[in-house]
């Protein structure tokens, strides 16, 4: 699959409806929603109050990426707030399985995420228990960082594992993705590319999304 999920983190929050309208008109597949708590990551973004306008103005599915401690406390509220998928970090929890159950019980797609310093092997035993895995290609916390090249071999490793076991699990890549590296990421086996600054910082975001997708 070749999906593009612009990250609303880099949108203009003073003109959020306009930016979402642009996303609606574009070939973007999902809207990536970055929630940061200032504890799991050294930055705070936004929470529930923005889910409502995003659901109202955005016609694309909301792909929620929780960068928070204790995701078990909040995943159901994000499901109720209209998330299409909810992901949280493996390294933020002791046991992800009961939390994945909470999300699945709401009929929402599940995603497990790891930061670049977490061994990709730790995801392997969960590949058949989630709809998607998200490999961070920068350290979670901020948009506009540089892509970490070591991500490429991690994508190939997970792709091989998914193929070998005949799974349908999607691979999402988040951080430093742009029109220059998108094709290589898809070739390595990525299914979904998140892009914040590359899309919203572009003079022609619709065209950038088109270029990334094709
Ligand atoms: C980083 C977030 C990313 C971020 C990507 O913690 O998870 O989704 O918005 O931004 P860019 O594409 O600018 O690296
Ligand atoms: Zn993200």
Q: Which domains does the chain have, with CATH numbers?
A: 3-213 (3.20.20.70)
Unique residue bearing structure tokens 């290609």: 137
C-alpha of residue 127 to centroid of ligand 1, in Å:
23
The candidate with the shortest Cα–Cα distance to 64, out of 16, 56, 73, 77, is 77
Tokens of residue 80, six digits: 């109720």
Q: Is 128 a catalytic residue?
A: no
Quote the pLDDT of residue 176.
98
Q: Which residue among the candidates 19, 34, 37, 191 is catalytic per the annotation?
A: 34
C-alpha of residue 71 to centroid of ligand 1, in Å:
19
Unique residue bearing structure tokens 């995801």: 123
User: Is 43 close to ligand 1, i.e. is its CB under 6 Å away?
Assistant: no
Each of the 214 residues of the chain gets a pLDDT tens digit; together they read: 999 999 999 999 999 999 999 999 999 999 999 999 999 999 999 999 999 999 999 999 999 999 999 999 999 999 999 999 999 999 999 999 999 999 999 999 999 999 999 999 999 999 999 999 999 999 999 999 999 999 999 999 999 999 999 999 999 999 999 999 999 999 999 999 999 999 999 999 999 999 999 9
C-alpha of residue 34 to centroid of ligand 2, in Å:
5
| Per-residue three-class SS string for 69-94 | CCHHHCHHHHHHCCCCEEEEEHHHCC
DSSP character string of the chain: --EEEEBGGGS-GGGHHHHHHHHHHSS---EEEEEEBSSSSS-B---HHHHHHHHHH--S-EEEEEE-S-GGGTHHHHHHTT-SEEEEEGGG-S-HHHHHHHHHHTT-EEEEEE-TTS-GGGGGGGTTT-SEEEEESS-TT-SSPPP-TTHHHHHHHHHHHHHHTT---EEEEESS--TTTHHHHHHHT-SEEEESHHHHTSSSHHHHHHHHH-
């Amino acid at each position: 699959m070749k999906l593009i999920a612009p990250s609303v983190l880099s949108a203009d929050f003073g003109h959020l409806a306009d930016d979402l309208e642009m996303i609606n008109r574009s070939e973007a597949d999902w809207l990536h929603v970055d929630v940061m708590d200032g504890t799991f990551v050294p930055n705070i973004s936004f929470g529930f109050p923005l889910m409502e306008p995003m659901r109202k103005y955005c016609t694309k599915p909301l792909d929620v990426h929780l960068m928070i401690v204790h995701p078990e406390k909040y995943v159901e509220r994000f499901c109720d707030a209209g998330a299409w998928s909810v992901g949280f970090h493996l390294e933020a929890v002791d046991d992800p399985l009961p939390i994945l159950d909470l999300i699945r019980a709401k009929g929402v797609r599940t995603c497990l995420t790891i930061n670049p310093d977490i061994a990709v092997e730790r995801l392997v035993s969960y590949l058949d228990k989630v709809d998607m895995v998200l490999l961070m290609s920068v350290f979670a916390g901020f948009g506009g960082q540089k892509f970490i090249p070591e991500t490429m071999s991690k994508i190939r490793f997970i792709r091989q594992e998914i193929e070998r076991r005949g799974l349908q699990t999607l691979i999402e890549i988040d951080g430093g993705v742009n029109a220059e590296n998108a094709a290589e990421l898809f070739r390595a086996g990525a299914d979904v590319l998140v892009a914040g600054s590359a899309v919203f910082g572009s003079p022609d975001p619709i065209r950038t999304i088109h270029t990334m997708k094709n």
